[in-house]
Amino acid sequence: MHCPFCRYSDSRVVDSRTSDDGLAIRRRRQCPECGRRFSTTETASLSVVKRSGVAEPFSRDKIVAGVRKACQGRPVTDGDLAQLAQRVEENLRATGASQLDANDIGLAILPELRQLDEVAYLRFASVYQAFDNLDDFEAAIAQLRSEDADRATNVD
């Protein structure tokens, strides 16, 4: 890793620590040439390609922010949102893909959000799947109802 200050081609690790969630390692490094210190973060690569074509690192915070809007006024806690984002990340990592597009993220969120709150699920789906009329809502609600009925039948 090049020194970001003087571009020297080597650096020395002076400290490593694992982040609280265990998904990243942060290292403090020192440049043997200019003596300045800087930090690097190492994570298993998981990036999201936006519609614009720009890739950015996967962010649980962005999942939470996106879902939080759909959960306004609903009985959903910050803890629920954090757990949802964690499960979404685990499911995405389990696919083994290192690069995802925004669509994959939305698809991974939908089933988790549905388990959390059906109203929030419908709101999120309406934005994500670009519902543009009542028929789209009716179709989504009908699907929820029929799947709920299936589950009820299976329990019997």
Which of 8, 27, 101, 106 is in the footprint of Zn ion by CB under 5 A?
A: 8
CB-wise, 3 or 100, nearer to Zn ion? 3
* Contact between 63 and Zn ion per CB under 5 A: no
Task: Rule CB under 5 A: say whether 4 interacts with Zn ion.
Answer: no
Q: What are phi and psi of 82, to 5 degrees?
A: -65, -40
DSSP string, 2-32: --TTT--S--EEEEEEE-TTSSEEEEEEE-T
How big is the site for Zn ion, counted in residues (CB under 5 A)? 7
Strand boundaries in the chain, DSSP class E: 12-18, 24-30, 37-43, 47-49, 55-57, 99-101
Q: Does 2 bind Zn ion (CB under 5 A)?
A: no
* Of residues 32 and 111, the one with the C-beta less far from Zn ion: 32
Q: Which region, judged by CB under 5 A, interacts with Zn ion, from 4-12, 50-58, 78-86, 130-138?
A: 4-12
| Bridge partner residues of 15 (DSSP) | 28
User: Reduced to 3 states, what is the DSSP secondary structure of residue 130?
Assistant: coil
β-strands 47-49, 37-43 pairing: unpaired
- Indicate the residue among 9 and 153 with the shorter CB distance to Zn ion: 9
Cβ closest to Zn ion, residue 33 vs residue 118: 33
Residue among 23, 112, 19 nearest 71 (CA): 112
- Candidate residues 27, 33, 131, 140; the one interacting with Zn ion per rule CB under 5 A: 33
Find the shortest distance in angstroms from Cβ 33 to Zn ion: 5
Residues 62 and 71: their CA atoms lie apart, in Å, by 14
Give the residue with the Cβ less far from Zn ion, 29 or 123.
Answer: 29
Interface residues toward Zn ion, by CB under 5 A:
3, 5-6, 8, 31, 33-34
